[in-house]
Structure formats: C-alpha cells, structure tokens
C-alpha cells in the first residue's frame, strides 16, 4: 500500500508559536532531540472537530518534558488553543493530533541546558473505526522479547520518544510474524502493556489490568477504567503473570489509536471477545462523540 510520506503532505503545522506550511516545518539534522532522545510527544484524537481530553494531554506533555529536565515554553491553555487552531486551519473533523517538543541544535553534547526548546503540533486525517462487528473479531498479539524498563532506570512516567525504540522493534517483529502488535512484559517478567496501548483482561465479569508503574497510565486507560466502573464492572489493578493469561475470558487493549479493541489471541493464549468488551466499545464511543451542545458552542464561536 502506497502511503504519502509525512514530509510531503499539504496543510499547516503549528511550530514555535506560528502556523507554517506543512513542508516548511523542519528541524536541523544536528538537533539534540534526534541524537540524544530529548523529545516528548502526545497522541491525541479529534472527534467531530473536538479534541478528546485535550487539557489532560497538554498537562501530560508539560510533565513529560519536566521529567526530561526541560520546560515547554507554553502554558496548557496556549497548547490547547494551538491544537484547536491547527485542527480548524486544516479543515479536519476526525483526525489524529500530534504535539511534540524537543531540544534544538544550539548544543551537540549530552549536556544541552542552553538548547532552545521547540514545539510543534501536526494533525492528519484519521477516521475512527467504531464498526463493532469488525472489532469484535479481535486482533492477534505476539509476546515481545524486549521488556519495559525498571522505573529506577528510565523516566517511565514521561511520554518520551526514546522509550518507544523497543516498541518499534517489538511491533516490527510481531508484524513479520503475522500479528497486529505485541504484548510487552515488565522488567520482572510480569504483564505490562502493548507497544502503543494499555491492556486489560476479563475474568468472571471483572476486569484485571497491570499496575501502571513502569509504563504510562494512559489517558484512554483512565477513561476506560472510569467507564467500566460507571457500568458496574469491578476493576482490579494488580500484578499479572503471563501464565495467568490462560484463565482469562476476554482481553482488550485501549489507547488513542486503538480506542477499545478486543484481542482474540496472545501467543499461545486464546480469548473470546464478549459482553464486557462490547459494553466498553459502546461506552467509549458515546464518551468521545461530541454532544450537540458542544457542536453548537463551536459554531457560535
């Protein structure tokens, strides 16, 4: 399948406080963020022209930067406004939103205290897939070789670009083997997450999901847990060992890109997408869809 390269698209990107033509949004090859991983980002989604939980994502972006010892030179409110501007300027309704911040090219060494902090926001069309019949077939996951690192060895609460290196390696391996993604274990061999989404299991009508202490406590994860509780479903956040997987009835992943997606297979383990997966797909769909009042407010602006 031919995909238009991301540096050759049309539209506008917000970069360091101004809208620029898409193809002009560039950085130098000696940018610190490229060489030393001093880069953080967010993955967000707009539905009906409104970015879901925009403020929470902006707050996390700033916190991620702080954990990497730099400060994003914009307030949460300024970031939210910039994201809305880029979505509107590009004329998109259902789209992916990618804010990213990185150290620039003023210093090229491990130390980079005086490097400029650059911020950019790009958006691109990404329709939501809420076809329940298709989703309920479930996806197949491999089990990754690489593990999430000990939180004493990496800033695991930061959505830092460098932490995704092993995710790319693991997803490539999974796709070569015919899987959609891979489930990763933590540094102690316990179930952690997938390469870009959190994972949850169902047993006897209750949800079981790993404690998010060596990987991101995803905003979608928090949303889904809240929706489960609102629907009377008990949620157990606990340590889960791989051998427990054979005892679970259902499994699903969640994230900005995945939304809520059931899983039918993880390596040798099999699951049957069922009532709880369906309930949460439907609940999440209702949660992210803009209300008529919200759309009317946007029009009045």
Catalytic positions: 159
8 A C-beta contact, residue 119 and residue 98? no
The count of other CB atoms within 10 Å of the CB of residue 212 is 17
Looking from the CA of 114 toward its CB, the CA atoms found within 13 Å total 4
Which burial class, exposed, middle or buried, applies to 44 when counting CB atoms under 10 A from its CB (0-12, 13-18, 19+)? buried
Query: What are the C-alpha distances in Å from 266 to residues 120, 149, 201, 259?
Result: 36, 21, 12, 19
Query: What are the C-alpha distances in Å from 229 to residues 53, 172, 235, 290?
Result: 19, 35, 7, 22
Helix (H, G, I), strand (E, B) or coil at 225: helix
Angle at which helices 54-67 and 219-230 cross, to 10°? 130
Task: State residue 242 phi and psi, 5-degree precision.
Answer: -55, -35
Strand partners, 142: 182
Rg (CA), the chain: 20
């Amino acid at each position: 399948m031919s995909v238009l390269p991301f540096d050759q698209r049309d539209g506008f990107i917000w970069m360091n406080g101004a809208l620029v033509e898409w193809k002009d949004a560039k950085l130098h090859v000696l940018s610190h963020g490229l060489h030393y991983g001093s880069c953080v980002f967010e993955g967000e989604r707009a539905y009906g022209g409104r970015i879901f939980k925009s403020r929470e994502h902006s707050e996390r972006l700033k916190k991620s930067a702080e954990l990497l010892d730099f400060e994003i030179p914009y307030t949460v409110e300024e970031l939210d406004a910039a994201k809305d501007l880029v979505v509107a300027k590009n004329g998109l309704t259902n789209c992916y939103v990618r804010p990213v911040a990185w150290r620039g090219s003023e210093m090229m060494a491990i130390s980079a205290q005086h490097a400029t902090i650059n911020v950019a926001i790009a958006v691109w069309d990404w329709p939501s897939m809420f076809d329940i019949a298709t989703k309920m077939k479930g996806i197949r996951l491999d089990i990754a070789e690489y593990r999430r690192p000990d939180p004493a060895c990496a800033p695991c609460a930061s959505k830092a670009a460098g932490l995704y290196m092993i995710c790319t390696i693991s997803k490539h391996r999974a796709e070569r083997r015919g899987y959609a993604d891979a489930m990763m274990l933590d540094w102690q061999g316990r179930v952690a997450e997938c390469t870009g989404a959190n994972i949850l299991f169902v047993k006897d009508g209750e949800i079981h999901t790993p404690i998010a202490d060596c990987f991101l406590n995803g905003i979608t994860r928090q949303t889904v847990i809240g929706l489960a509780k609102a629907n009377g479903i008990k949620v157990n956040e606990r340590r889960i060992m791989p051998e427990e997987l054979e005892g679970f009835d259902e499994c699903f992943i969640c994230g900005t890109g995945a939304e809520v997606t059931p899983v039918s297979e993880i390596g040798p383990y099999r699951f049957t997408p069922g009532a709880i997966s369906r309930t949460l797909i439907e609940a999440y769909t209702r949660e992210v869809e803009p209300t008529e009042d919200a759309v009317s407010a946007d029009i009045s602006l």
